[in-house]
A and B are shown apart, each in its own frame.
Chain A
């Protein structure tokens, strides 16, 4: 919901500048996977703050519960059991949800003006009152995040608690995390904080520990500290080098204005042909009518 209507950096399906008089600090949420114990307190806090209740699902033999993101579950802990080194089992638990991309594919793909906005603080927010339920955002997102409600056919996802952040609070998941695995602040501070964590992890034998802030989407406003930074796929298929699909780029890039131009030119060509070459009339026709 629009609490920050003057802080808009980008707005879906809008070709003019959005109100951008105010410039706010770029924020970020940092999720340190090495500190996460998988307690799902953040999931509960998300439901609580946003007043969401998913349907009771079925146990399919994994710890992920609910099994997937939905219009009611904006964040889900994804549990991966991996053996990075022979004989050394690791349980990697990744808090999945919207990454709040600096270059959001969802926003680029959306055809409805103002259904998706990006605030100057970096949060990407869906304004469901403008959503038409076309699902284009799904094709645009490199992280498989937006979900269309089966009830109202609107798209939903994590808001990074834009309503809390707008009044100076941290997101609900951050507030509740008992181990301090989720922290929130300015993006610069979070990168700095991550560097400390990565040095620490490297000292403890995780030589590939790294920050996940993928450049392919211009960086994200939800970042991870990964113990195995060289293999993000280990973490429930976190993409190594995410980017907006070239097909979506083709579909939403320069092609469309050019296609509009083509249609306009065709109509003009017809009109000018008529006023120059003139209609094709059959001479004898007059006497037949």
Chain B
């Protein structure tokens, strides 16, 4: 057992957080000069999506297996609003995000009473329902999806077809979402969520209606997933079935765990790694044989392998391990 000093010891507030913030901001501003901007736009959308997922799993301990539903459905709605209703960029994004919030409320209302595997299964089942609807409803155009969605202009002034305008607009949306979610985890509400995650029966015995708090967290997480999905649909001009597919839900879990669950930058780093791998491997053949036995798309196989290695070697995820290492060095 560790020996504790019998004095009032304040936790050392981590200066790392500030350094991380600064580095992150510089990276965000400089990135389009170093990498292909469209790749970065996609990355930022998935990073925001992963942060939204992390908001629920990290602060509430709820593992949703259906987050693609919010991401994808919001994309369809935003795309439809921009293309068919001719709404401007901002309103289209708002429509998509709001639809994810409503969907989040419905999903959450049904699922937050459950926990663990049951919760994961219910969210998966509901997301499959959305996938089915995306197949069947006329406005989603089944396998074709929505394509050639017009991007429009930011504030009616800056043409989003200019790649740099597109990048910095996406970066601004990402930054807004990131900071907003960070504030939420450090809000009066976030504090109660942590308590509920740590010990739900105890929170109940103190008089808290824990399911209402979880529902609120679920809706917020779905809303930001929707913001990510809406932005992605308009920025990349497409909304397709893959966005609502369960594999996308799996992918966001992977990004979060790979980067570091419950860490600030983990989901962003995880999204970057997964996107970079997918981008590099997209030139490989469509599938290949494993030991001559069964065939797998290489992206799935390689990402799966990386995931297994990472989980075995760094259980805290990439950012989690780095933070742990820094804390240990500064601690002793």
A and B, one complex?
no
